[in-house]
C-alpha cells in the first residue's frame, strides 16, 4: 500500500495543529481559514454604504433597545440610560449635575426628579411658585401636558425612532474600519471621513445591529444593547404621581 496518502494526512494534521496553536497565542496565519467571515452574518463583506443601510433597517425593525452613554448637543452634555420601544420608553437623563427620569406610555409623558431639580427654577428667578412646588414634586412623577413647551423636547428622549434616526447618521465619505468586539460580540466598523464624521460598530453576529457609536465632532459615545429584549411600560400609580396642571413649573 502506498505511503503517500498517509503522508498527506500527516501534513494536513500538522497544518491544522499549527493553525490551532497560532490562534491559541493570538497569532494570525493567512490561509488557515479560507473565509475570515465564516460564521458571521456576512455584512463584513459588504461595501460600507450597504452595511450602514442594513444596520439601519435592523435597528428600525427591532422592537426595543437600551441606549446608554453620553451625547453632546450645542456644547451641553447629556448622560443617557434609556430603554426604548415603539410605544414609549423609560430611563434617566443627567445634565449639569442634575438627574431626571422620564417615562412615556403612548402619548402620556411623565417626568420625575428630586426637589433640588425643581428648586433650580427658583434660583434662576422663577419666583416663589417653583420653590413652593419643589417639596410637593420631590421624587414624584409629574405628567407633562402635551401643550407644554417642554413636551416635544423631553419626549424626544423616549422616542426610539427619533433618537436612532438622529444618532445613527454618519457624516462624510463612508469607509469600512477595523474589526473588533463590543461586549464580547464581533463587530465591523463603518466610519465617516475616517472617523471625523463618526464611527459605528456593527454586529457581525446575528442581526447587524449597531452596538457602539462614536458621534462626529466629539459628540459623545453611546452603547446600544438589549436589542429586541422586551420590558414593561406602565402608567404611574396615583401614589407615584402629582398632577401639576396644564403647564410645568419652569426648570
Yes or no: say if 227 and 61 are a contact pair by the CB < 8 Å rule. no
- Beta bridge pairs of residue 189: 201
Angle formed at CA 26 by CA 23 and CA 28, multiple of 5 degrees? 65
Report pLDDT digits (tens) over 179-214: 999 989 999 999 999 999 999 999 999 999 999 999
pLDDT confidence band for 10 (50 / 70 / 90):
low
Rounded to an integer, the average pLDDT of 48-56 is 96
Rounded to an integer, the average pLDDT of 19-29 is 46
Rounded to an integer, the average pLDDT of 118-140 is 66
Give, for 152, the enclosing helix (H) or strand (E): helix 150-156
Local structure of residue 126 (DSSP, 8 states): -
Domain extent listing, the chain: 1-34
Q: Is the pLDDT of residue 27 over 70?
A: no
Burial class (CB in 10 A: 0-12, 13-18, 19+), 233: middle
Q: Is the pLDDT of residue 136 over 50?
A: yes
Rounded to an integer, the average pLDDT of 17-21 is 50
Amino acid at each position: 500500500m502506498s505511503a503517500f496518502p498517509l503522508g498527506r494526512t500527516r501534513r494536513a494534521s500538522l497544518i491544522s495543529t499549527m493553525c490551532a496553536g497560532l490562534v491559541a497565542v493570538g497569532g494570525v496565519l493567512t490561509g488557515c481559514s479560507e473565509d475570515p467571515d465564516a460564521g458571521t452574518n456576512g455584512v463584513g463583506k459588504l461595501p460600507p454604504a450597504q452595511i450602514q443601510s442594513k444596520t439601519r433597517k435592523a435597528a428600525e425593525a427591532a422592537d426595543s433597545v437600551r441606549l446608554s452613554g453620553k451625547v453632546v448637543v450645542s456644547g451641553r452634555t447629556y448622560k443617557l440610560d434609556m430603554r426604548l420601544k415603539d410605544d414609549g420608553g423609560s430611563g434617566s437623563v443627567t445634565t449639569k449635575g442634575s438627574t431626571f427620569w422620564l417615562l412615556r406610555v403612548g402619548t402620556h409623558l411623565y417626568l420625575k426628579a428630586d426637589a433640588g431639580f425643581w428648586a433650580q427654577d427658583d434660583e434662576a428667578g422663577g419666583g416663589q411658585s417653583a420653590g413652593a412646588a419643589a417639596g410637593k414634586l420631590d421624587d414624584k412623577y409629574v405628567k407633562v401636558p402635551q401643550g407644554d413647551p417642554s413636551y416635544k423636547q423631553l419626549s424626544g428622549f423616549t422616542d426610539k425612532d427619533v433618537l436612532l434616526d438622529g444618532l445613527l447618521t454618519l457624516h462624510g465619505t463612508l469607509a469600512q474600519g477595523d474589526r473588533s468586539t463590543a461586549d464580547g460580540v464581533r463587530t465591523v466598523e463603518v466610519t465617516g471621513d475616517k472617523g471625523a464624521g463618526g464611527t459605528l460598530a456593527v454586529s457581525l453576529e446575528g442581526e447587524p445591529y449597531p452596538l457602539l457609536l462614536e458621534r462626529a465632532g466629539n459628540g459623545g459615545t453611546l452603547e446600544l444593547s438589549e436589542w429586541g429584549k422586551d420590558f414593561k411600560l406602565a402608567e404611574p400609580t396615583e401614589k407615584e404621581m402629582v398632577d401639576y396642571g396644564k403647564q410645568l413649573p419652569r426648570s
